[in-house]
Amino acid sequence: SLQQTSTTVALNSQQASGEKMTSTESEAPVASPTSTALMGPTSPPPEADQFKTEANSAFNLGHYDQAIDLYSKAIDLYDKSAIYYANRSFAYLRTECFGYALSDASRAIALDQSYIKAYYRRASANMALGKFKLALTDFEQVHRRRPGDSDAKAKYTECKKIVQQKAFEKAIAYEEKRVSPCDEISQSLQSMTIEDSYDGPKLSEEGNKVTREFVTQLLDYYKKSKVLHRRYAYQILVDMKALLSAEATLVDVAVPEGTKFTICGDVHGQFFDLLNIFELNGLPSETNPYLFNGDFVDRGSFSVECIFTLFSLKLLYPKSFFLARGNHESEYMNKIYGFEGEVKAKYADKMVQLFREVFNLLPLVHLIDGRILVMHGGLFSSDDVTLEDIRKIDRNMDIPDSGPMSELLWSDPQDLPGRAPSKRGVAVQFGPDVTERFCKNNGLDYIVRSHEVKEKGYEVAHSGRCITVFSAPNYCDTMGNKGAYITLTGGKDLSPKFTSFDCVPHPTVRPMAYSSSLMQLFS
């Protein structure tokens, strides 16, 4: 649901319309109880099968959350059906709850090791999580059992290529000393010609620095769907690397008494909605500070415009404009969800490497006046993590699969106490008691995080100790949610004030326009 996950979106327009597909993996969920899948020692009761039939109908209409609820009701009545678990796994795949999809597919295989669709579901979930070797094992199983299935063969072949490519990249990494892409490009910046026909913003002649005038002109230029010259784009990335290299993993932010401070959540490449935030709340400045809490790119097809706007503002106001890393500031997510493709379309392959280097240097956490901790995802699988532990995290790497850094960027809150495996398949879900202990142990009033769509753009949970803010309204042009931002006023109170806003029109470029064909392996 909107309240549960920021990723409950259709993976493409075909899914959004509920259109059926005919390939092995993409066909509608199984409807017949006479399938070869093992049903256990007895047949399911009619009530369970009725829930399954209703769930299949909901699935085919694109109502995936409703389908999940109905499959769950069927499973509550009869938990020996591989079909029920595999169908629910498929619905979880469509809502991108890859952790749950993986669990259900594995359960289906445990119930019936001959049920081929369950292997397909598990392979798809592992692909989505970047676990290519595990995915290949299951795709191989599908291909071996259905050698004539062209879709199964294509996915097996593509997955095998990825595994081989990863092995090759790992091998050559030991053989050559890595050269910094930013350092390498900086040596050739001056030789990049600025054509006479270029009519866009230019960095200052003295020092190639970002100025207020440059930012204003850049925003106007982007409104006209034009592209910043590559020389200035590369210069911004080189300068961002230098700036972020000097920043800490946990950045301490002081908000002077009486000063407004704004926290924004995910913007996900929705440039025109980002402009609307500035219209509503004022452009960033030394007296109007902002913190953007990760996931600047991917999904929305104006991610290049968003990131160069935010990077330019960071260079202009390094002490009053703050950027935190999100789970989408990572190589695999950018490859799948559109940012890499967009950069290559608007600039060049080389620039992708610079973005990876800069994203790895983004701070993970901001501590406001020692009382409010802001991170993209959430809290930890252990109670003993302290602020000092966070400060010591070496962040200069792609996001790992597990550990404190991964949890800061991927975890989600839950209503129940304690912890649970993540619906996403990465990090954990944490309850109100976990948040209470963490805040008490570290002297915090509350935490602010993003990472999930909320109907009003924000949500206050865990007795006010855990606040979510999400700033991409009508996410992916499908969700119908509002966006929001938080404002605080420096002083003793520091209580959050919320502003919700609607989406604004944008040029007719659909979300995910630059997404990778790899999505077909798990969509």
Q: Catalytic amino acids?
A: 328
Amino acid at the residue 480: G
CA distance 315 to 272: 21
Task: Report helix, strand or coil for 266.
Answer: strand
SS (H, E, C) 481-514: CCEEEEEEECCCCCCCEEEEECCCCCCCCCCCCC
Task: Report helix, strand or coil for 66.
Answer: helix
Pairing of strands 458-461, 446-449: unpaired
CA distance 436 to 485: 24
| CA distances to 21, 109, 209 from 105, in Å | 20, 6, 53
Contact 117, 86 (CB under 8 A): yes
Instruction: Quote the distance between the C-alpha of residue 98 and its chain's center.
Output: 13
Helix/strand/coil percent split, the chain, to 5: 45, 10, 45
CA distance 401 to 505: 37
DSSP classification of residue 446: E
Rounded to 10°, the helix 349-359/230-245 angle is 20
CA distance 407 to 293: 15
To 5 degrees, how large is the angle CA 24–CA 26–CA 29?
90
Contact 452, 470 (CB under 8 A): yes
Amino acid at the residue 188: S
Pairing of strands 483-489, 497-501: antiparallel
Within 13 Å, how many C-alpha atoms sit on residue 336's CB side?
Answer: 21
Task: Report helix, strand or coil for 183.
Answer: helix
Question: Which is nearest to 310 in space by CA: 260, 267, 367?
Answer: 267
